Amino acid sequence: MTETAAATLGAFMDAELTSQPEVWAQAIAQAQAENLLPADGERVAVIGCGTSWFMAQSYAVAREAAGKGVTDPFAASEAFLGSERQYDVVVAITRSGTTTEVLEILTELKGSVRTVALVGDVTSPIMALADAVVELPYADEQSVVQTRFATTALVYLLTSVGMDLSAAVEDAKSAVTAPVEQELLDAEQFTFLGRGWTVGLAHEAGLKMREAVQGWTESYPAMEYRHGPISIAAPNRVTWLFGEQPEGLDKDMERTGALYIHSDKHPLAELARVHRVTLERARVRGLNPDLPRNLTRSVILDA
């Protein structure tokens, strides 16, 4: 494949990931103007699949850390939502609004537990199932690999629990367009780390590279990393930390010979940076992240 042909791969993903700072600003304004999410003190479960599950993890930690009430994240296929858990509200995150596991839960809960869905496709079946909908059609995407829908839904959710994301918007402006260093294009393996609400971002970064680059990635809570996974770190491999650095991790990383990335940029902007790195890594390998191997835009299971 010529360099010019490679540069056109992932054209949707390119436009979508690049638009993140603007779209996030729109979601911040929307979150400040709406009041659709659970009230402070309510017991909340958050569900999603794939990327949406990882955004659920980030929101859950941020909401609880902000003192807004118990918030448990679940993969929709493994959610425990029985009455003994006493959830007041179930929040669902889904770009497509067609993901089977999510629709099944909302169908089951109809009339018993209040549900709120954050949705990209506002013509999808979930619109009739959820009690309230946060409509994010301007963040919907054509690429199978999600970038801006997920981060925009999270920006909305984090704003709702009082996080000021103006630094994220500012930092993302350069993160989405800056050229990618050769070292990052060539690296054999990536491990992503996070703490608190950024653990979900780390898992999402790892999934992104698996989906779009078919590459070897891992992700952990940062304090877990030294309990085994650090043995993977080596020259020509990358360890990328989002958020607060555990004491001494930089020194430990120096000894491994791996490239260690821990910037002072906002963690969400760092995830947007990973989106750009992911796209360029896919392109140099001749892969099209708009249509990745074995994936579809939404997983719709046979009845």
Q: Which residues contact ligand F1P (rule: CB under 6 A)?
A: 49-52, 94-96, 99, 102, 144, 146, 211, 295, 297-299
User: Minimal CB distance to ligand F1P: which residue?
Assistant: 50
Nearer to ligand F1P, 192 or 225 (CB): 192
The backbone torsions φ and ψ at residue 124, rounded to the nearest 5 degrees and listed phi first, read -85, 165
CB nearer to ligand F1P: pick between 92 and 249: 92
Instruction: Choose between 171 and 204: whose C-beta lies nearer to ligand F1P.
Output: 204
Classify residue 280 as left (phi > 0), alpha (psi -120 to 50) or beta. Answer: alpha
Q: What is the DSSP letter of 147?
A: S
CB of 265 or CB of 297, closer to ligand F1P? 297
The DSSP 8-state label assigned to residue 134 in this structure reads: E
Exposed/middle/buried for residue 4 (C-beta within 10 Å: 0-12, 13-18, 19+):
exposed
Residue 43 DSSP SS3:
coil
What angle, 0 to 180 degrees and rounded to 10, lies between the N-to-C axes of helices 166-175 and 267-284?
20
In the chain, the amino acid numbered 186 is: D
Q: Which is nearer to ligand F1P, 194 or 289 (CB)?
A: 289
The least CB distance from residue 297 to ligand F1P, in Å, is 6
